[in-house]
């Protein structure tokens, strides 16, 4: 605009309303380059602006239009990151808009804010001053609390606003149907590459990070399968003087009789503010009262929507409003999302093309990084009651078909299992033997929930109990493993599961008895497999810095029982395995001549540069002190470089690092630091477990600040591998450290 009363043209800078100014200042926090970017964050789309301003989407129309008319902002269509394949309207500040901001520096007193609490993402909440103060006071007094209230009432929003003001670091985790203690820890410390698994080690590990405020949202979604461990973790952290805040709908899982703060709906005047100032105050108050000040219902409201009658349940309004205007494609996508057991990547979900439409209607709930989404919980709960069994079955079949195309990824393989299990489809256990180790490395908590539900639905199906028992063994939950053992009747499966239980419990006599029972029933090939596995387990049942108590005669007796197959390839492989076992025995007994002879035998089966031969020569050199430190380093590098897999290269590194620790050599720590973390492997079963045990044991030697948690974790992995003697040795060292 120009003032024509002066010969020189000059801009007359208009005054803006409070809502218009807030919008402009918010958009001014984004860089100019965003205006030409191909991909833009959701924060500059209408849903993002609505959340940042704390008003419903329709409440932004008037202030946005004014800013557009003044040329302070522009609107365009762009691809929103994580927002599906369709492009959406986004808003950017202009040079003129930045000019207005420079002419009007922020003056808090001029903004006339009744109550606004913003977190680091710009989120604004309205009408919660008393609740915020109560939360702060209760947490300061008790050090722990539970925030509860109806779905959609604003528990998460209140916690986010509070966390932005917390003087202590706040660590945040959100539960879902498949969460366990490990997923909580990973959410709290996403930048930590490796976390312990042992419950006591976890508490010590977190304690070493300094004091925090630890939040667990949506606690009501915690499956009973993981209640005991999660509750123990949270109680243990509180006892270590960490502040712990829980949030969820009533009823909460048992055992959380903590100080309670109940969040109600908004006062009518505050609820009216959420609707924006484009409506007359009288109309806003009428809507606010009709919707009982429920924040989620207010967010769903659009001007002209039919309001519920007095005394009518909010559910009826939600049912009507969430479906009004949705096309068939968007409705199908929403119904599919109703079944999500956890938030899922926006790039991968079925119906991703409808994400924009659902987001515009305030039906979606996004993770903090806005890469994953789910249906708002109130919407999910209401819509679920509207779906009959046939509709649910159809949705589960469609979801199972979708995730069947992505089963190579453990997180999506679990979703495929989830939906096929819901259909009572026995095929969901097909191929478990091949996939089990990979799934357990990344998804053991989810797998535990799925198979626990499956065995409850079909208690007579022994293969379900067998796999549920294997999962419990992997998680070292022996009581639960024994429960599932009762559901396994086939002698071979029962003995195999019972053997694994005896191993993690350290019952060597029972393990030996069950081993013999398995050998009596096994075919030649299976018998060889059991014998070699048991022999390797016995020779690896030790820690590198303690004298070995190995019974070499017993090992040789086991090898004498091996019946070599006729197949030449299998025969050669088994012969090499037996030679390596005999080599380890000779090394532990200090029989240099025998070691030399066995190494020569290995070389005769292959060649001098064979990876196995080079590793064997390295072990012999280190065991008998042949050569200088430079010779040992060269032999290590040569053996490591020859290995054909990263896992075997890392095992060679473990061998050398253990030698350096025994020698007190200063380079031990640097060698250990180069070794991949145990979590890096898809190697399942005992080899991976033994690697983890040895890695953590070395860390316990080399990093005094984490010795206790590292040694606890090492003992756990030795037990997992069936190495009970090694676990006891590690535990004894732990007691000396403590």
Greatest alpha-carbon pair distance for the chain in Å reads 110
The set of long-range contacts for 507-514, using a CB threshold of 8 Å and a minimum separation of 24, is 508/724, 511/722
- Which of 576, 603, 630 lies at the terminal end of a domain, its last residue? 603
User: What pLDDT is attached to residue 240?
Assistant: 94
Same domain? 333 vs 218: no
Residues 403 and 463 in one domain: yes
CA distance 632 to 628: 6
DSSP state of 606: S
SS3 of 709-722 = HHHHHHHHHHHHCC
Answer yes or no: are the C-beta atoms of 335 and 383 closer than 8 Å.
Answer: yes
Question: Do 96 and 186 fall into the same domain?
Answer: no
What pLDDT shows up at residue 109?
A: 47
Among residues 344, 290, 279, 335, the alpha carbon closest in space to that of 313 is found at: 290
pLDDT of residue 316: 82
**Minimal CA–CA distance to 81: which of 42, 46, 127?**
42
Domain boundary at 483, 499, 515, which?
499
Claim to verify: residue 487 and residue 537 sit in the same structural domain: no
Taking the CA atoms of the chain, what radius of gyration do you get in angstroms? 31
Token output for 223: 């499956």
- Would you say residue 574 lies in a domain? yes
For residue 27, give the CATH number of its domain.
Answer: 1.10.10.10
Three-state DSSP class for residue 153: coil
The residue segments making up the domain with residue 247 are 128-263
Pair 531, 433 in one domain:
no
pLDDT at 524: 80
Q: Are residue 417 and residue 483 in the same domain, yes or no?
A: yes
Q: 569 in a domain, yes or no?
A: yes
What is the DSSP-derived secondary structure letter of residue 241?
T
Query: 151 with 203, same domain?
Result: yes
Cα separation, 407 vs 411, in Å, equals: 8
| Residue 110, pLDDT score | 47
CA torsion angle for 528, 530, 531, 536 (degrees, to 10)? 120
Give the separation between CA 467 and CA 666, rounded to whole angstroms: 45
Domain tally for the chain?
A: 4
359 plus 227 within the same structural domain: no
Q: What is the Cα–Cα distance from 598 to 613, expressed in whole angstroms?
A: 10
Under a CB-based contact definition with an 8 Å cutoff, are residues 293 and 270 in contact?
yes
**Same domain flag for 334 and 478:** yes
Handedness of CA 614, 615, 616, 622 (dihedral sign): positive
pLDDT in the model for residue 567: 81
* Token representation of residue 319: 């049912």
Q: What is the pLDDT of residue 684?
A: 65
The answer to whether the bond into 414 is cis (omega within 30° of 0) is no
Q: Would you say residue 478 lies in a domain?
A: yes
Q: Is 361 within the bounds of a domain?
A: yes
> For position 4, what pLDDT does the model report?
38
In 406-477, which residue ranges form alpha helices assigned H by DSSP? 410-422, 432-457, 462-474
Q: What is the mean pLDDT of each run of 10 residues along the chain (738 residues)?
A: 39 75 94 93 93 88 93 94 84 95 75 40 74 95 96 93 90 96 95 92 93 95 96 96 95 92 94 85 90 90 77 77 88 96 93 91 90 93 93 96 94 94 83 86 94 94 96 96 96 93 93 87 82 91 89 88 83 90 93 94 90 95 88 95 95 96 94 93 81 96 94 96 94 90
User: Do 474 and 541 have their domain in common?
Assistant: no
- Model pLDDT, residue 433: 84
| Domain assignment of residue 634, yes or no | no
In this structure, are strands 170-174 and 213-217 parallel, antiparallel, or unpaired? parallel
Alpha carbon distance 727, 690 (integer Å): 11
Residue 76 within a domain: yes
Query: Which of 578, 603, 628 represents a domain boundary (last residue)?
Result: 603
In a domain, 504, yes or no: no
**CATH code for position 259:** 3.40.50.300
> Can you tell me whether residue 262 is helix, strand or coil?
strand
Structure tokens given for 521: 């029933």
Q: How far is CA 16 from CA 64, 328, 558, in A?
A: 11, 41, 87
Q: In what order do the strands lie in the sheet with 260-263?
A: 170-174, 213-217, 243-248, 144-149, 260-263
Question: Does residue 489 share a domain with residue 397?
Answer: yes
Is residue 352 situated within a structural domain?
A: yes
**Nearest-angstrom CA–CA distance, 273 and 263:** 18
On whether both 112 and 133 belong to a single domain, the answer is no
46 and 59 Cβ atoms separated by less than 8 Å: no
């Amino acid at each position: 605009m120009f003032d024509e009363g002066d010969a020189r043209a000059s801009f007359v800078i208009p005054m803006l309303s409070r809502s218009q100014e807030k919008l402009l200042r918010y958009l001014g926090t984004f860089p100019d380059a965003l205006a030409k970017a191909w991909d833009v964050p959701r924060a500059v789309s209408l849903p993002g602006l609505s959340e940042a301003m704390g008003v419903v989407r329709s409440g932004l129309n008037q202030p946005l239009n004014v800013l557009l008319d003044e040329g302070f902002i522009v609107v365009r269509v762009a691809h929103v990151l994580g927002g599906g394949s369709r492009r959406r309207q986004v808003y950017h500040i202009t040079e003129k808009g930045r000019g207005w901001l420079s002419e009007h520096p922020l003056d808090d007193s001029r903004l006339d804010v009744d109550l606004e609490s913003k977190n680091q993402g710009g989120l604004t909440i309205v009408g919660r001053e008393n609740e915020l103060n109560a939360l702060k006071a209760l947490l300061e007094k008790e050090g722990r609390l539970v925030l509860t209230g109806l779905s959609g009432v604003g528990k998460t929003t209140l916690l986010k606003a509070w966390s932005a003001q917390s003087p202590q670091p706040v660590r945040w985790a959100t539960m879902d149907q498949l969460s366990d203690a490990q997923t909580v820890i990973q959410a709290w410390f996403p930048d930590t590459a490796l976390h312990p698994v042992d419950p006591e080690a976890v508490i010590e590990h977190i304690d070493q990070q300094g004091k925090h405020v630890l939040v667990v949202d949506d606690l009501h979604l915690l499956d009973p399968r993981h209640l005991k461990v999660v509750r123990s973790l949270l109680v243990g952290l509180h006892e270590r003087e960490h502040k712990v805040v829980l949030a969820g709908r009533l009823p909460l899982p048992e055992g959380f009789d903590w100080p309670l703060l109940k969040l109600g709906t908004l006062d009518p005047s505050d609820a009216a503010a959420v609707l924006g100032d484009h409506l007359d105050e009288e109309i806003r108050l009428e809507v606010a009262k009709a919707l009982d000040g429920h924040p989620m219902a207010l967010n769903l409201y659009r001007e002209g929507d039919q309001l519920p009658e007095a005394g009518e349940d909010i559910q009826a309004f939600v049912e009507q409003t969430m479906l009004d205007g949705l096309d068939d494609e968007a409705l199908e996508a929403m119904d599919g999302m109703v079944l999500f057991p956890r938030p899922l990547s926006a790039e991968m979900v079925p119906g991703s093309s409808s994400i924009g439409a659902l987001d515009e209607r305030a039906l979606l709930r996004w993770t903090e990084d806005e890469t994953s989404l789910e249906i708002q919980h109130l919407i999910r709960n209401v819509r679920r009651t509207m779906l009959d069994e046939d509709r649910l079955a159809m949705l589960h079949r469609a979801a199972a078909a979708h995730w069947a195309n992505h089963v190579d990824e453990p997180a999506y393989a679990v979703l495929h299992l989830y939906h096929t299990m819901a259909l009572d489809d026995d095929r969901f256990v097909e191929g478990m033997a091949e996939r089990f180790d990979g799934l357990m490395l990344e998804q053991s908590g989810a797998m535990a929930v799925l198979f626990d539900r499956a065995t409850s639905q079909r208690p007579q199906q022994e293969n379900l109990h067998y796999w549920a028992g294997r999962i419990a063994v992997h998680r070292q939950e022996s009581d639960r493993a024994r429960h599932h053992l009762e559901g396994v009747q086939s002698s071979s499966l029962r003995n195999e599961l019972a053997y694994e239980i005896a191993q993690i419990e350290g019952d060597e006599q029972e393990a030996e008895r069950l081993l013999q029972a398995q050998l009596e029933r096994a075919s030649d090939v299976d018998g060889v497999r059991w014998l070699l596995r048991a022999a390797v387990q016995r020779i690896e049942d030790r820690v590198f810095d303690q004298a070995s108590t190995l019974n070499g005669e017993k090992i040789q007796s086991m090898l004498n029982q091996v019946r070599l197959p006729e197949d030449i390839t299998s025969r050669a492989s088994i012969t090499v395995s037996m030679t390596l076992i005999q080599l380890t025995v000779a090394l532990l007994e200090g029989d240099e001549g025998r070691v030399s002879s066995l190494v020569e035998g290995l070389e005769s089966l292959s060649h001098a540069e064979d990876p196995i031969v080079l590793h064997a020569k390295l072990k012999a050199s280190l065991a008998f002190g042949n050569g200088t430190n430079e010779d040992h380093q060269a032999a290590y590098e040569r053996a490591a470089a020859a290995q054909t897999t990263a896992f075997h290269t890392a095992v060679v590194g473990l061998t050398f690092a253990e030698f350096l620790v025994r020698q007190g050599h200063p380079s031990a720590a640097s060698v250990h630091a180069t070794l991949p973390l145990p979590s890096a492997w898809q190697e399942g079963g005992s080899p991976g477990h033994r690697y983890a045990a040895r890695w953590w044991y070395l860390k316990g030697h080399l990093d005094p600040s984490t010795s206790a948690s590292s040694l606890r974790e090492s003992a756990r992995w030795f037990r997992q591998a069936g190495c009970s003697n090694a676990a006891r040795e590690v535990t004894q060292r732990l007691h000396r450290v403590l």
